[in-house]
C-alpha cells in the first residue's frame, strides 16, 4: 500500500542571510494527520524554516510545496491553506480581541458571515470569549499566544505552522494547548517549532532536528526516544567545541 501524499514538502531548501547559509539543503515532508516537531537549539534555523513554509520568506534555493502546489509560484492560493503563528505574535494593540480576529479574516478575504462564525468558534476554542472586548495590547503574554493561535486557525487551514506556541503559557494552559493540537491534527499537517524536548514528546508523531541549518535527524517518535537525548547530547558537545 502506497504512503499518503504529503500536504507539505520541502525539497533542498536553502536560505542565506548576510552571505551566510542559515538554512542549508533542508528536505522533509508532513502528511495529513501528522504532527511534526521541528527541534533545535537557538539559532539552528527553525524560525527561518517556518517563515519559508508560511511564505513570509522565499528560499534562495529549493522549493516548498503545499498540497502539491509550489508556494512561491502560486503564493496567494497556497497561503489560503496555511495557518501561521510566528514566534512574535503580530497584534494591533488598539483593536479588541474580536476586532483583531475580524480584521484577520477580512485580510484573508473571508465573507462577513463566515468571519463571524469563525471568530466565535475560535474565541470559544481558545478560551478567549471572556476577553473579546479587551484591547489586544492589554493581554498577558499567554493570552496573546492564544490569540495568535486563534488567527492562525481562523480560516481552517490544511497546514498549521506554529513557532514556539507554548511560550508564555502556564502549566494548565500548556496542557490545554497540547490537547488542542492533538485534537486539531486529524485533517491537517501540523509543524511545531520548539527547543523543548518534552513538548515534542507530548505532541508530535515525528521529529526533525536542525543544527547549524541542516537536518541532523528525521525520525518517528514511536521508536527509540532515547535517540533524541543522544542526538542532543552530541549537538551540545559540538556547540561547545565550536
Q: What is the dihedral of CA 50, 51, 55, 59, to 10 degrees?
A: -90
> Per residue of the chain (242 residues), what is the pLDDT tens digit?
456 789 999 999 999 998 899 999 999 999 999 999 999 888 889 999 999 999 989 999 999 999 889 998 888 887 789 999 998 888 999 999 999 999 999 999 999 999 999 999 999 999 999 999 999 999 998 899 899 999 999 999 999 999 988 887 788 888 888 888 888 877 899 999 987 777 888 889 899 999 999 999 898 886 555 666 776 677 667 766 66
pTM, two decimal places: 0.88
Phi, psi of 240 (to 5 degrees): -65, -40
Pick from 187, 159, 211, 193: nearest CA to 55: 159
- Domains annotated for the chain, with CATH where assigned, are 8-89+157-241 (3.40.50.300)
Amino acid at each position: 500500500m502506497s504512503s499518503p501524499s504529503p500536504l507539505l514538502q520541502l525539497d533542498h531548501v536553502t536560505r542565506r542571510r548576510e552571505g551566510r547559509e542559515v538554512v542549508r539543503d533542508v528536505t522533509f515532508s508532513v502528511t495529513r494527520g501528522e504532527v511534526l516537531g521541528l527541534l533545535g537549539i537557538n539559532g539552528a534555523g527553525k524560525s527561518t524554516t517556518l517563515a519559508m513554509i508560511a511564505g513570509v520568506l522565499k528560499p534562495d534555493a529549493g522549493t516548498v510545496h503545499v498540497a502539491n502546489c509550489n508556494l512561491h509560484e502560486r503564493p496567494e492560493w497556497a497561503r489560503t491553506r496555511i495557518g501561521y503563528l510566528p514566534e512574535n505574535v503580530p497584534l494591533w494593540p488598539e483593536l479588541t480581541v474580536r476586532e483583531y480576529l475580524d480584521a484577520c479574516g477580512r485580510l484573508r478575504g473571508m465573507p462577513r458571515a463566515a468571519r463571524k462564525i469563525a471568530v466565535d468558534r475560535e474565541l470559544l476554542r481558545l478560551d478567549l470569549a471572556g476577553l473579546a472586548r479587551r484591547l489586544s495590547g492589554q493581554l498577558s503574554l499567554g493570552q496573546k499566544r492564544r490569540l495568535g493561535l486563534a488567527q492562525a486557525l481562523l480560516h481552517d487551514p490544511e497546514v498549521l505552522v506554529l513557532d514556539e506556541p507554548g511560550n508564555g503559557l502556564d502549566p494548565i494552559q500548556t496542557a490545554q494547548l497540547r490537547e488542542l493540537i492533538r485534537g486539531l491534527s486529524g485533517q491537517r499537517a501540523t509543524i511545531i517549532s520548539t527547543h523543548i524536548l518534552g513538548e515534542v514528546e507530548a505532541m508530535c508523531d515525528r521529529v526533525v532536528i536542525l543544527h547549524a541549518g541542516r537536518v541532523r535527524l528525521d525520525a518517528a517518535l514511536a521508536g527509540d526516544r532515547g535517540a533524541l537525548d543522544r542526538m542532543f547530547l552530541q549537538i551540545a558537545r559540538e556547540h561547545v567545541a565550536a
